[in-house]
Amino acid sequence: MPSSKPPLAGLRVLELARILAGPWAGQMLADLGADVIKVERRGSGDDTRGWGPPFVEGADGEKLSAAYYHSCNRGKRSITADFENADDMDRVRALAAEADIVIENFKTGGLKRYGLDYESLKALNPKLIYCSITGFGQTGPYAQRAGYDYLIQAMGGMMSITGIDEPVRTGVAIADLFTGVYSAGAILAALHRQHETGEGAWIDMALLDVQTSVLANQAMNYLVSGKPPGLMGNAHPNVVPYQPFETSDGRVIVAVGNDGQFARFAAILGRPELADDPDYKTNAARIHNRERLIPLLAERTKRMTREDLLAALEREGVPGGPINDIAQALADPQVRARGMQVTLDAPHVADGALAQVRSPIVMDGTPMVAEKAPPALGADDADWRWR
């Protein structure tokens, strides 16, 4: 029988992080059962508490923290501290001395003056896993610079391949989010090693490193061809057809991943002969002749309604789908069936509950999501010790 105990139950995580990358890593660990204590600046708290509107409405009708804050701080406890206050720093060091993990995203070297840098805390806690998240890493000519996701997307190449008429950033902070996910993975790898050897670790995570890493096939396209890829809008550099098509009443995404799917798509459009044409028979040929092929396909999709094309794609096993807004995405039958939207008890919030988008992790049939809503600022100041 699967265990009802969360996989990281008993793990102690001290989060000295704000904005998104560090808190996202902390939330992942909280969803998996870790006890995460978030240390926030006294008075204002995490910067994202003010990144609104919209703001979550409190139980008494007051404005609580911004929705942004509530997206990445589920399952944590919140204590406040003034980093210039010696008593507060003693309390934070006491927590670090008994923690398994520290996550911080201060400027490189910024915590040394408070005795909260890796070397200082390692002396108190030799097994400590300490994850530092910065814009540019602990080394290199940019190490002292502050880094924000928008800047990193621009510097790291992502914006050069995203957009139609001009480079654009992605609709969510992709460098921050990927850094949070990679940080959580690195932390768990270090934890495994700690169990084997008793050694702690200092993890150096940089947003620019992560953004460069997740260029994936686009970076390899450049390394192999010597030609930097550019803007392609919604088309794919390595697969054709793999883009939106106009119907008579809206757009449909078609994602043809192999030659068999292309043959079925051509048949749906009443042009089965295209699948036997040497100019279009293989994916490599379709890429070479993209400019001639796409108008032939688009001319046929425009004769069909959106509903009819989607139904035909589903029937013939050709990947395709609608372009949903976020409301439509959360209302999609598959998203609902998977339980991606959850409601958490939150006595400090209006109606006593708060909707959340859960972690995508499902283990032994159980979705991994913390039961506690994101905390009010300083909610745990009176109960700040590890449990």
Pairing of the two strands 362-363 and 366-367: antiparallel
Q: Closest Cα to residue 156, out of 95, 219, 220?
A: 219
Structure tokens at 255: 């994602």
CA–CA dist 20, 179 (Å, integer): 9
Would you tell me the crossing angle of helices 306-316 and 259-268 to the nearest 10 degrees? Answer: 140
Helical spans, DSSP H, in the chain? 21-31, 67-70, 86-98, 118-124, 149-155, 174-197, 207-213, 216-225, 259-268, 283-288, 290-301, 306-316, 326-331, 333-337
37 pairs with which residues across the strands?
14, 77
The residue length of the chain stands at 387
Q: Are 183 and 206 in contact (CB under 8 A)?
A: no
Structure tokens at 338: 């998977």
Among 35, 46, 149, 176, the active-site one is: 176
Tokens 């932390």 label which residue? Answer: 187
Pairing of the two strands 101-104 and 12-16: parallel
Q: Closest Cα to residue 260, out of 217, 206, 311, 317?
A: 317
Q: Closest Cα to residue 89, out of 53, 115, 63?
A: 115
H/E element, 40: strand 35-41
Pairing of the two strands 250-255 and 35-41: unpaired
40 pairs with which residues across the strands?
80
CA–CA dist 212, 362 (Å, integer): 29
Encoded amino acid at 232, one letter: M
- Is 277 one of the annotated active-site residues of the chain? no
Q: So which residues are the catalytic ones?
A: 176
